[in-house]
Amino acid sequence: QVQLVESGGGSVQAGGSLRLSCAVTGYSAAPYCMAWFRQAPGQEREGVAVIDTDATITYADSMKGRFTISPDNAWHSLDLQMNSLKPEDTSIYYCAVRLQIPPYYGFRCGLFESSFDSWGQGTQVTVSS
């Protein structure tokens, strides 16, 4: 059974950095897409960054230039390097992957929750001002 385990969360002051990691276990093939999402208290979950079916990487606008995702060669882990953190980055961060075969040629996961079928439990990131 596939499991996604996030690590690396914690507390940091504004302007600081954190690196999150996600390990995908129990599944030998590479996922079709891998992504990070986040959810702040009282808010909807939002996409942070995705590496898509064609290996392109997309970041949410507010993370561009500050966050970087990097999978390992086998796409069995996905790191998220977060720099220049702001208090508004405080959230629970979730790793997600798509294991199901895409519905059509050219399908892209994007930053849409519905594209992903396996999720981690999340790791808390707190940024203080």
Strands, DSSP E only, in 3-122?
A: 3-7, 10-13, 18-25, 33-39, 46-51, 57-59, 67-71, 77-82, 91-98, 118-119
Cross-strand pairs, 34: 51, 97
Percent of the chain having pLDDT more than 70? Answer: 100
> Which pLDDT does position 21 carry in this prediction?
98
Alpha-carbon distance 40 to 53, whole Å? 27
Supply the pLDDT for residue 90: 97
- In angstroms, the CA 32 to CA 52 distance is 7
Query: Which pLDDT band, with edges at 50, 70 and 90, does 28 fall under?
Result: confident
pLDDT tens readout for residues 4-22: 999 999 999 999 999 999 9
Q: Give the closest residue to 38 by CA, choosing from 86, 94, 76.
A: 94
Per-residue pLDDT, averaged over 69-81, amounts to: 94
**Model pLDDT, residue 24:** 95
Average pLDDT over residues 36-61: 95
Is residue 16 within 8 Å of 92, Cβ to Cβ?
no
- CA dist 35 and 12 (Å) reads 23
User: Is residue 53 pLDDT above 90, yes or no?
Assistant: no
